[in-house]
Structure 1
């Protein structure tokens, strides 16, 4: 049983394949965290429940390690829950009120305030095979008046008694997302957050903790990821008594809301896990969990062509047909028209919100292009940005009251657009209706859903919303409901999440999105850094990677087509270059790489990822994907620059059977057969010579 209750010692024990998670009920009726790490015998840990007192200034040290504590009494750490009752009392004293365990993998701990009729249920869902626990809370107001929620975290994760605490996370900005950072935590609080209305490119709701010695392949790592696509906060707080508590949930900044009498609030899910095998093991646990429990499907990732960089807003049916024929020649399976197909959309200054096909660009309607694309053996996809509107649009002229706004402010324009208040029922219905009409009217198999601005001036629209004051929450919940309904109505349509690059990717939106656009920066070398950070938390099967121009428009870097394709083949392969300008030789070379990708994409999509080498520490970046049955593997290796006198680099592999024989094909016509132990200890020679070199190596198990 993954969950058990030791009644004599009042301890709850959660046991996964390779970890133990313990908490208990102490003498004051508080739920106390006890242990999280390698497997232990819960019955030996009863003494961990004892009260801890230091002085009158720290009279209840054990409150620092509460499993879920309300702000009140002697709690001075970051609270899990902070409320204001109808009579103005802001003190919350939660006590244990029993438990429910209807399923072997699910546990509910019931808490109740000592005086007020406020109930809090702590939910635990265990995934033993992944060493992961999903946690969230439900808060129910039994009071005769509304209760204002000032802060409601989804969970508190406690890591105890390490000699040092190191936090690993990602940071970034537009076109530079998912940059890895590590910080040794001293006493105090480190906050990762977004206040921009969506997940954001500047931080991501994922964290990892170790003692400062963990590596890619070894060491104990504690980690977590929050499933929320709006304003969020994760606070890592090291106390003066050596405890570390990591709280996470919806951001309390400008985020208070009311729960009416008899109503409930359910928080987002905050997933946590423990790994004994370093950051690589952590990532593989998260990837397997996402495939099994988060992602809506596992359909084969089709090779995609997007026409944005070729035409930008100058979309017309004839040019799109030319690009479609070129794309089909090189083996593309899905043709996507980006921004510019609708309304008066000739630039980013007008037309956004008017989701009717532009009759000048498509005189015979959109079906003329769709029929051509499908006759070439490709699916058709299209770009939308349903949450935004240009002031110069028919939609805004008809409904200026639909945007976020304060009555005394003009409103900030970003990218010449405003943001629709998706929390309004009529706006939610408008978006659902036009998307339903679009997908019902045309044979569209793919939607790229973009959002190119942050939330500003989040004005309240009516008296009811003024009382609730939860604009930020309503927007995200309505977005989820729209995506969920569209997936139910159109089960064969695939969806990509995009927000000015990779600004809305998390375990919340990934419950609805088949794939994710992780950055507008498509430079193949920059992408190696971005993709590395992304895969620490998220499965590579969802990340879309494009082959674009050289020199690259963002930084002028020149890279060979081989390097650009190999970099993009580590996720879902897309092509975004203006292929109408490619030579016949370039088209032929691209076709060969597309064929190679099709032969290995099931390994990269469904296999296990091993990060072998990083440009953060080396001149070589390398990743290996191993099929789940262990029969095949593929390695992508990249050399940034050649250094005179450097030794030949050998790359040691991972995830193979040491006693098995493997055929190694580096694409140079000289396949060799070696044992797994040799490949993992001695390695394979890369044979790089020159700057911007790359190689794809295929490995297949040889049956004896």
Structure 2
């Protein structure tokens, strides 16, 4: 038996190794603090899934991987077995993890165990085809303290001829056989992203995906499956998230034999990836975990994991600053004097980062021209950006800049010089969405151009922050400069080069921070989050709509990365909400202000400054604490979210009333995550507590609860708890 040494703690309690292997049975057990995952090699050499769920600590308890018998000629044994990474070959009629084609048309692929390697918390298992030297290395990494398992695969062509990969998934996740499972996933559209969906899983297949070249607003690459009876704080939940910012796909299927599995990775739509002899293809990481106590712990696991293991800087990354963005105040009518005036007003509110949005470059006076010409407009900024940046710094704020590096307008010097640089099919119309086209970043010369101007801007100016936007999806995804058989690699190479540009920028400019934006939440996933500091969840900043968007976002992603702005009313959907309600909605993420400060009254400015000061007091709790979703905007006229600080010393409760029926009682809020025996001092930021503002035990607050005096539509409060 191979086993990493167990620890003997007080009382000599044995802590299981993260990765155990029993040679005699050829089984592996991967353990985290709250889950276990097991697989084994059958007598026929196939790698089969054995277990995924609550902790089991003895690998010796696992039976070897069984080889079943055929039920009928229509139901061969392969359809009854839970293969860990099935190739498309033999009588396998479910979703394959890998499908290939050889030059002679042979597409059969049957994978068998060849070898493995364990190194600390990493496990590599090598599978090989039964005839050809086509090799797949399955990569597993255990994050024991976070309860997360990372999976991916590397496909290698060891033959002497080209092999074309037609479908390359990152992992197949098998659940315990059974019925009654429920699927939770996130859907949406522009301005209405991350809407929570919950539905039964039936026989057949459910697909969520993006074919748009980026993560997309329509589906997010995250799933959760429960046993049919889970809630926020009870029940078994299996969950996963894909780290990829291009075309992706997840297939959730249930077989007639009660097997439920999720297979996900690169989208096989319009996919073809030829591998010459010796070449490899690595699939994106697919992260998974298990909660025995509901959706709340599942989200909190993902939040902590993302903050500490995914984001640049990990647990050491700084808290997100309060920012101001100039877009709504000026749109394209940008000039130095106007930006100076806005910066001065923002600084008085306590803003820490001033971001100048679109309109500062080229002939950018509207959305029909200028994209691609990333030089400062000399009419708007005669002395360049330095004067404005120095002014912003004198106000004790950092300076940020909006860019859209992947796009070009037809009316631009760049496009006139390089019309071949855009994604296109020769001789076919080039679709312009928002009057712009997409530069082909799969090309190395285009990649170097984009890196070059971003690097030059950051080198010549003291820029702390890029707001990186992407305001359209792919169309006509041609790459005419390469052979026809190679062109569909664009779906993968484009994303890889976006990643490379950001990685190089951050390496050269270590203080530079980046926000990912794609017309709102069109590029939010664990792949881009390895490279950026926050994301823009939606272009819709209506405070009521945002409650639903932010709830769905919180299922998968932490508040620290969720940029949330206070903007003017009426909003794009014509709704008007009070300024205090708008602030309290935005204070549940990374607070920003996008309002036209030139229109603020003295009362508006005073309230805004007070709210910013309150946010700074609770910022660490919101951005790095544990989130408890107490009341949902999907099922209640009140939304209640509670954040408990990592050290337990502070908690904050946001209670948001959307609407009120006549003579309805103030809601009672029973808190969670507190220390029962501790005493907490309560304070409402706007005196909405029905109880006296005093001290209460954690037991009282969680069992009896508190009442808030919310009356009328869009009334809200935040209650700060300090442990005594």
TM-score for both structures, normalised by structure 2: 0.95
Q: Separation in 1 of the partners of 2:18 and 2:714? A: 49
Maintained 8 Å contact 2:252/2:262? yes
The alignment status of 1:296 with 2:312, answered yes or no, reads yes
Q: CA deviation at 1:660?
A: 1.0
Corresponding residue number in structure 2 for 1:274: 290
SS in 2 for 1:205: strand
Residue 466 of structure 2 is aligned with which of 447, 451, 459?
447
Which residue of 145, 154, 158 maps to 2:161? 145
Partner deviation per Cα, 1:418-465 (whole Å, 9 max, x = no partner): 100000110000000000100001111110000001010011222347
Aligned with residue 332 of structure 2, among 291, 296, 313: 313
In 2, the alpha carbon distance for the partners of 1:115 and 1:92 equals 9
- Confirm whether residue 536 of structure 1 aligns to residue 552 of structure 2: no
1:627 matches 2:645 = yes
What CA distance in whole angstroms lies between the structure 2 residues aligned with 1:20 and 1:270?
Answer: 17
Q: Does structure 1 conserve the Cα–Cα contact (< 8 Å) formed by 2:39 and 2:49?
A: yes
- State the distance in 2 between where 1:288 and 1:252 align: 31
Task: Quote the offset at 1:52 in angstroms.
Answer: 4.3
Match of 2:534 among 503, 515, 535: 515
- The alignment status of 1:685 with 2:707, answered yes or no, reads yes
Superposed, 1:152-171 pairs within 5 Å as: 152-171=168-187
State the secondary structure of the residue aligned to 1:371.
Answer: helix
- 1:75 maps to which of 92, 97, 101: 92
Equivalent position of 1:196 in the other structure: 212
Distance apart, 1:373 and its partner CA: 1.0
Aligned to 2:564: 545
2:118 aligns to what?
Answer: 101
Displacement of 1:209 in angstroms is 0.4
- Check the 8 A contact 2:116/2:124 in 1, yes or no: yes
Preserved CA contact (<8 Å) 1:54 1:61 = no
Q: Which moved more, 1:130-139 or 1:159-168?
A: 159-168
Q: How many angstroms does 1:15 deviate by? A: 1.6
Equivalent residue for 2:257?
A: 241
Equivalent pair of 1:460/1:466 in contact (CA under 8 Å):
no
Secondary structure at the counterpart of residue 520 of structure 2: coil
Q: Which residue number corresponds to residue 384 of structure 1?
A: 403
**Map of 1:541-620 to 2, 5 A cutoff?**
541-552=560-571, 554-620=572-638
Return the match for 2:723 from 697, 701, 704: 701
Q: Does the 8 Å CA contact 1:63/1:74 hold for their aligned counterparts?
A: no
SS of residue paired to 1:160: coil
- Displaced runs of 4 or more, over 4 A: 61-64
**1:47 CA drift (Å):** 6.1
Equivalent residue number for residue 261 of structure 1:
277
Give the 3-state SS of the residue equivalent to 1:689 in structure 2: coil
For the 8 Å contact 2:230–2:295, the answer to whether it is kept is yes
Is 1:44 aligned to 2:66, yes or no? no
Matching residue of 2:667: 649
Following TM superposition, by how much is the alpha carbon of 1:101 offset from its aligned partner in structure 2, in angstroms? 0.6
Distance 2:475 2:686 in 1: 55
RMSD, aligned α-carbons: 1.2
What residue number does 2:141 align with?
125
Q: Distance in 2 between matches of 1:337 and 1:551?
A: 23
**d(CA) in 2 for partners of 1:42, 1:101:** 15
Aligned equivalents of 1:68 and 1:430: distance in 2? 39
Q: Secondary structure at the match of 2:304?
A: helix
- 1:584-613 CA-to-partner distances (Å, cap 9, x unmatched) read 111111111111111110111111111111
Alignment of 1:419-498 (within 5 A): 419-464=438-483, 466-467=485-486, 469-498=488-517
Whether 1:400 and 2:419 are equivalent positions in the alignment is: yes
> Given the alignment of the two structures, is residue 174 of structure 1 paired with residue 190 of structure 2, yes or no?
yes
Tell me if 1:26 matches 2:42: yes
Q: Cα deviation per residue 1:208-246 (whole Å; 9 max; x = unaligned)?
A: 001221001111000000000000000001100000110
Gap change, CA 1:634 and 1:144, over 3 Å in 2: same
Whole-Å Cα distance in 1 between the matches of residues 239 and 45 of structure 2?
Answer: 28
Q: Does 1:674 align with 2:696?
A: yes
Unaligned 5+ segments in structure 1 are none
How far, CA to CA, are the matches of 1:289 and 1:215 in structure 2?
21
Count of matched residue pairs: 700
Q: Which residue pairs with 1:283 in the alignment?
A: 299
Choose which of 190, 212, 215 in structure 1 pairs with 2:231.
215
SS at match of 1:39: coil
| 1:204 aligned counterpart, secondary structure | strand
SS at match of 2:504: helix
- 1:5-20 correspondence to structure 2 within 5 Å: 5-20=21-36
Query: What is the aligned partner in structure 1 of residue 5 from structure 2?
Result: none
Tell me the secondary structure at the aligned position of residue 484 of structure 1: helix
Matching of residue 231 in structure 1 with residue 244 in structure 2: no
